[in-house]
């Protein structure tokens, strides 16, 4: 078994990482034996705090650095295509819903990129991302703790 500090560190890193985010961090922390009442807020905070370096980092670095690299333009373009329909249709609520959906690549990272691309107010975007992350945390925690059951058929569809 991994020690407490290592388990906490792994939960934080996984929750802050793109792709896995708290969708991976919460089940990992629980699997490593951490108390869910510790894991859930820890994963939420780790996942939410990436908003600031992404949003303001893109603001600062996009023209200076990122737009010169095809991979960066491709990642930003994909985020735009994936989430724009939600935000255009439902506004800031669409961003919240997009972040809350516990599917791969629909979390805080992509939601923040979408908010930046669409030039949404950063304060409203932050509130939408935080709210979406909290909703996703409730869903993922419920599944991880066995409160909600996910059909293997549904898992097969989303993977």
Predicted confidence (pLDDT) per residue in 4-30, tens digit: 999 999 999 999 999 899 999 999 999
Mean pLDDT of 133-149: 89
pLDDT at 144 over 80: yes
pLDDT at 153 over 60: no
Q: Give the confidence band of 77 by pLDDT, cuts at 50, 70, 90.
A: confident
Mean pLDDT of 22-48: 96
Q: Which of 7-11, 79-83, 144-148 has the lowest mean pLDDT?
A: 79-83
Mean pLDDT of 44-55: 96
User: Which sequence spans correspond to the domains of the chain?
Assistant: 4-158
Q: How far is CA 57 from the centre of its chain?
A: 17
Closest CA to 50 of 126, 128, 135, 131: 126
Q: Give the confidence band of 71 by pLDDT, cuts at 50, 70, 90.
A: confident
pLDDT at 87 over 90: no
pTM listed for this prediction: 0.82
Mean pLDDT over all residues of the chain? 88
Q: What is the dihedral of CA 93, 89, 140, 43, to 10 degrees?
A: -50
Length of the chain measured in residues: 159
């Amino acid at each position: 078994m991994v020690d407490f500090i290592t388990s906490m560190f792994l939960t934080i890193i996984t929750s802050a990482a793109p792709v896995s985010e708290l969708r991976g961090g919460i089940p990992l922390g629980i699997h490593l034996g951490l108390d869910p009442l510790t894991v859930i807020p820890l994963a939420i905070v780790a996942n939410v705090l990436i908003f600031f370096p992404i949003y303001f980092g893109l603001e600062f670095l996009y023209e200076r650095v990122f737009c010169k690299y095809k991979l960066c333009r491709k990642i930003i373009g994909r985020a735009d295509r994936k989430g724009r329909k939600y935000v255009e249709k439902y506004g800031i609520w669409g961003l919240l819903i997009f972040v809350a959906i516990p599917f791969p690549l629909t979390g805080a990272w992509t939601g923040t990129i979408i908010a930046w691309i669409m030039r949404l107010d950063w304060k409203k975007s932050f509130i939408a991302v935080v709210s979406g992350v909290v909703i996703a945390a409730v869903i993922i925690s419920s599944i991880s703790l066995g409160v909600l059951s996910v059909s293997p058929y549904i898992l097969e569809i989303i993977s």
